Every structure is written in structure tokens, then in C-alpha cells.
Chains A and B, each alone.
Chain A
């Protein structure tokens, strides 16, 4: 099955970025990557807008939470679903992200690439059906 959609992947860890990018591309997604929060925010505001943003929390220059807050206060990006991929399972982090409007929150160590792709597909479908 080949999925379609444009994904912005914001991840500072080289290996995680590479693995998730490869996995998503293999499944047919169009993937754009950013290596920190600043770049991620910049790419998110550039057309063509991504269908889904995968966002790490602990990153240099600008944290995932700051990026999320910026995205959700910007008219142009407010509707793009943002999935948080962190390795923090702190309830506070999850709560904050959810409050700011994150569409999902996953601990990377407990998530397979297969499951990640499934979540992304579901979000894109949901978004498309809503128009």
C-alpha cells in the first residue's frame, strides 16, 4: 500500500531522523526534514505546507514546545496536525503538548516505525475527510 502526503520531520538526532525518514519514504510519503526547532518552524511556514508535522521536544535553539506554540498561534499553520515524538514520558510534557493542540504524543522508544506510519496515515486521512 502506498501512502501519500507531505511530512515535515523535525528531529535533532541523526539516526532517528534517518531511520524515520527512510521508513516513511519507503511507505510513499513525501518527507522534509529539519535538524532543530528553528529550521522546523521556518519549513513549516513555507509552501507547500506539510500535511503532518512530526516534532521532537528536546532540541537545540528552539524546543518542540516553543515550535508547537508558534505553529498553533499562526493562522497559516494552526490547522496542520502536529505529532509529538519525544523520549520523555513525563506526564507534564504530555499534558502541555496536548493542551497546546498536539494531535498525538508518542514515546519513540516504545513506538515501532510501522506504528508511526500507521498513525501518520490515519491523521492524513482524517484531515483530508474533514477538508
Chain B
């Protein structure tokens, strides 16, 4: 790419150089043509002037022919006045012609020729003056009676007239020679111009060749550029095709799985959703935006989803899931499992979030039916169970029973109590899972609740010689939660610690408040939780292998119930442990502000 750009620059420079060369050559050619035309005009003008001049000088010479006859004929006619007049007239004509010619020569001739011609005119003037003096003497000497003296004088006058004629002939000769000289000078100049003409001609040829070669080079280069462009266009086309295919694939995947997809760019707050989403949830004319997306969520779920999303975005995790109800295009609500993935910047800030929604309405319906069934069964179980418990209680209170029977009755009561707890847990889970256990949140002091549960479990802990300590930081540790359910959470976690910590161990409960979040934790020195079991620990009916080995009575419901309750209250529960080195179970809940407590 960089190489072609340099080449392009070089081509550009070459183009401009060629253009300058062309301009100079053309200007030279034009100048040359102009000069030649001017020279030709000047040459024509000069020739014409010399021709006229030569003719004028010939006429001057011819006019001398009228000067001699009056002198000769005087001796024949002997009419002195008449001949004198004729001589004067002929001389006047000569003088006029000579003056005119001289004036013209003074103005029209330049350089050396002018001086020569002027000197010729001077000579003519001198010869004429001498001739006129001698002719005058002839006329004065003439008398019809004595012609001899005048005849002798006439011979001299004729001599001077001949001299005058020689002068005029010399003028003509000089004029001819000068005109030839002028032509020669012009020829030399033309010859010089012819040299420039050759230079211009060669320049033009060079120019044409250069332009042709250069043009060829440019056309080759252009062809290469065209080919490159074609390749780029083809590549772009291919990219577009791949992009289209990818999008199609995305749409198809969405369609095939019936998953609605949404894509949220957090910075500009731009939301995109796929066709499946638009078909399932959006009403016609509804454009994707965070507001429309939020408005579609069932009012009872909206706050919970928003809270969960906020918490997720401010956490470092990548994956988010939530189950909630969302309004379908037909107005009915559908249950969806929304699974989102956040792309984060280097600083951990979420930049973009892509999520797919799976319609789980049918599954939810099945769950509801299942939970109805569990409710029904549990309820039906409770009636005979309470009959059994009450009868056993009556029996235990009876007097005069054998000791063995009393023992049996006590065992039967304990079994009935366990069964009762199991049924209660099952019922709670079924209801929490179906979302039908309506928690009644109220301001609650976690330290007070913890103290009450610790007191309750104290006899059990003492029996195993366990040290049970509670410590807390300066926070208020007040949360908004259902007291019955929260008591169950704390009881389950603490009784687990008691159950799975060997004799003489330690159990430490801690309460920390930070960033409007209360973290409650219990750390024990018990058997711990194997790494592979940790992620599954809060699943329903799951029990870690080492827990089963130690305590056969667990149902695998307790921790699941803990998770359901904590998550419903807007918190999170987790476990940290090294097998054999104890375990920490912790949960968080949003702390409530002081003003909330006052109201």
C-alpha cells in the first residue's frame, strides 16, 4: 500500500514536469512562428521600399535627359530665353525629384546604407551645382553673332553633366547593393531562426514521445490500480457476503432456537434486537431502545431484573442470567430465561452486552404444575402427619407407660418432627421456585436474628463442645427481608456448621457492611467442601460426598432453600472451602438506608 502511494507521488511529479516541458515547448514554438512572420513582413516591406527607391533613383537619372537638349538646341534655335526657360524647367524637375528621394532616404533607410546613400546625394548635389554654373556660363556667353565662345564652354558643361549622370548612376548602384545587403541580413536572421526551429521541432518530437511513453506508463499503472481496486472490491464483497452470512446465521440461530436476541452498547446506550425479538415482543413501529425493553418487562419483575443487571454490570463477572416475565406482542406475558454476556474493557467496565432470551413459559407452566402437585401432596401429607404427631404427643403424656414404650414413642416423635421439617422445606422450595411464596420484607436486624438463632442452637453446639462466636464491624447490618425466611437461612447455615464440624471445633460468624451491602458469613473448622462439589452445592437434592458419609439425615434441600431466599431478597450466596480445612458460607444482602428504617 505504502509502495503504491510512493509510486503514485512519483507519477504525479513526472506528470507535472512533463506539463511544464510541454508549456515551454509550445510557447517557444508560438514565439518562433511569431518572429518568423514578423521577419517575413519586415522583409517584404524592406524589399518593396528598396524597389520603389531604385525606381525613384532611375526616374531621377532619366530626368537628367531633359537637361541637356536646351543647351544643344540653343545653337540651332538661337532663342536664348526659350532655351534658358526649358533648362530651368528640366533642372527644377530634377531638383524636386532629388529632394523627394533624399527626404525618403533619410527617413526610410537605416544603418550603413543611409550614410552611403546620403553621401551619394551630397555628391549629386555638388556635381549638379558645378554643372549649373557651367551651363549658366554657356547661356551668358551665347550670342547669335558669336557662338564660338559659348560652344567651347558647352564642352565643359557637357563634361559636368556627365559627372552628374555618373553620380546618379552611382546612387542607383549603391541602392541596389544596399537592397541586396538587406536581403542577406534577413536571410541570416532567418537562418538563425531556422536553428531555433530545429530545437523546437526536436522538443516537440521529444515531447510527443515522452507523453506517449508516459501515457503508456500511466495507463499500465492505472490498469494495475484498476486491478487492485477490483481485488479490493471483490474482497469487500466477500467480507460483506461473510458479514451477511454471519448475520443470517445469527438470525437463523435465533429463529431455530426461537431465541430472541438483544445487543446493548452501554456507552451510547444503543440497543439492537433480532427479528425473533421483534416478532415475539415488539409491537409494530416500536424501535429498539433500553426504555422499550424495560417497559416490556412485567411490572412485578422490573425492579428485580434492573437490580440484578446493575449488580452484574458492577461486578467483574461475564455471564448474567435472569428469569422474568416479558410482555409479548399479543399482550400476554411470557416467561423468559435471559442469558447475557458482557464484554468488558481493560478496566473491567462493561462496554457491551449481548443476551439471548429463551421462552420458558412452558417450562414455567410445568414447574407451576409440579409445584401445585408438590403443594397438594405436601398439604395432604401434613394432615396425617399432624394426626400422628398429636397422637404421639398424647401418648407421650400418658401416665403409667413402660419405659421402653416411652422410648419408642420419643423416637417416633423425632421421626415425625423430621418429616414435618422435610415437608415444610419441600413446600417452601416449591413455592419459591414458582415465585408464589410472597415474601413479606420488613426492616430486619441481622445481628439480632443471628443472636436468636445462635441461642437456639447453643444446646447442640455445647453438646459437641463447639466454640460459637459472633463478631461484627461498626455497621448497622439492617436489611429488608422476610423475617421467617431469613431466620430459615441463618438457621440452615448455622446448623450445617454445627452438624459438619467435629467435636471441639470452632464456628465463627461475621457481619461486615461495605458499600451498602451486608455480608454475613459463617466459618467452621469442619470437614470442608470438596472443590468439585462447590459449584453444585446449592442445587436441589445435591449433597457432597463427604457430607453424606458423615451425616445421613440431610435432604439436600437446605442450601437450595438458602439460595432461593437470598436471591429473592436481592442477594448472593457462595461457599469457599478447602476440603478438610473447614468451610466458609456467606451471603450478601443490600443494606437499607437509615431513613427507610425511620418510616
Contacts and interface: CB of A to CB of B under 8 A. Distances in A.
Interface residues of B, number: 22
A19 B387 contact: yes
Interface stretch (B225-233, B389-397, B530-538, B589-597): B389-397
A112 B393 contact: yes
Given A88-B379, A109-B420, A110-B424, A16 B387 contact: yes
Given A22-B394, A89-B424, A109 B438 contact: no
A33 B394 CA distance: 18
A87 B386 contact: yes
Given A89-B424, A91-B437, A91-B438, A109 B385 contact: yes
Interface in A1-51: 13, 15-16, 19-20, 22-23, 26
B198 interface: no
B382 interface: yes
B386 A16 contact: yes
Contacts of B390: 15-16, 19-20, 23, 108, 112-113
B391 A15 contact: yes
Interface string B388-418: 0111011001000000000000000000000
B394 A19 contact: yes
Contacts of B375: 90
Given A112-B389, A113-B394, A114-B393, A87 B382 contact: yes
Given A19-B391, A23-B390, A112-B393, A87 B438 contact: no
B326 to A, nearest CB: 25
B53 to A, nearest CB: 141
Contacts of A16: 383, 386-387, 390
B219 to A, nearest CB: 87
B427 interface: yes
Contacts of B383: 13, 16, 87, 108-109
A107 interface: yes
B392 to A, nearest CB: 9
B461 to A, nearest CB: 24
Contact of B440 (A91, A108, A110): A91
A122 to B, nearest CB: 19
Contact of A110 (B379, B387, B393, B420): B420
B382 A107 contact: yes
Contacts of A109: 382-383, 385-386, 389, 420, 423-424
A3 to B, nearest CB: 15
Q: How large is the interface on A (under 10, 10 to 19, 20 to 34, 35 or more residues)?
A: 20 to 34
B69 to A, nearest CB: 166
Contacts of A87: 379, 382-383, 386
B393 A23 contact: yes
Contact of B387 (A15, A22, A26, A92): A15
Contacts, number: 57
B382 A108 contact: yes
A22 B424 CA distance: 26
Nearest to A116: B390
B481 to A, nearest CB: 15
Contacts of B387: 13, 15-16, 19
Contacts of B389: 109, 112
A107 B129 CA distance: 172
Contacts of B427: 89
Contacts of A89: 424, 427
B439 to A, nearest CB: 9
Contacts of A112: 389-390, 393
A19 to B, nearest CB: 4
A13 B381 CA distance: 13
A113 B424 contact: no
Nearest to B413: A112
A113 B382 CA distance: 15
Contacts of B397: 26
Nearest to A19: B390
Interface string B413-454: 000000010011001000100000110100000000000000
Nearest to A87: B382
Contacts of B424: 89, 109-110
A23 B382 CA distance: 19
A57 B557 CA distance: 28
A23 B420 CA distance: 20
Among A22, A89, A91, A92, the one with the most B-chain Cβ atoms within 10 Å of its Cβ is A89
A92 B375 CA distance: 14
Interface in A87-131: 87-92, 107-114
Interface in B367-389: 375, 379, 382-387, 389
> Which residue of B379, B397, B427 has the most chain A CB atoms within 10 A of its CB atom?
B379
Interface string B166-209: 00000000000000000000000000000000000000000000
Contacts of B384: 15
Interface string B529-569: 00000000000000000000000000000000000000000
Contacts of A108: 382-383, 386, 390
A90 B376 CA distance: 11
Contacts of B382: 87, 107-109
Interface string A58-92: 00000000000000000000000000000111111
Nearest to A88: B379
Contacts of A91: 437-438, 440
Interface of B: 375, 379, 382-387, 389-391, 393-394, 397, 420, 423-424, 427, 431, 437-438, 440
Given A108-B382, A112-B393, 8 more contacts: A20-B390, A87-B379, A90-B375, A91-B437, A91-B440, A92-B438, A108-B386, A109-B386
23 contacts: A13-B387, A15-B391, A16-B383, A16-B387, A19-B393, A19-B394, A23-B390, A26-B397, A87-B379, A87-B383, A87-B386, A90-B375, A90-B431, A91-B438, A91-B440, A92-B438, A107-B382, A108-B390, A109-B382, A109-B420, A110-B420, A112-B389, A114-B393
CB-CB nearest 9 A-B residue pairs: A19-B390, A15-B387, A87-B382, A108-B386, A109-B382, A109-B386, A91-B438, A113-B393, A109-B420
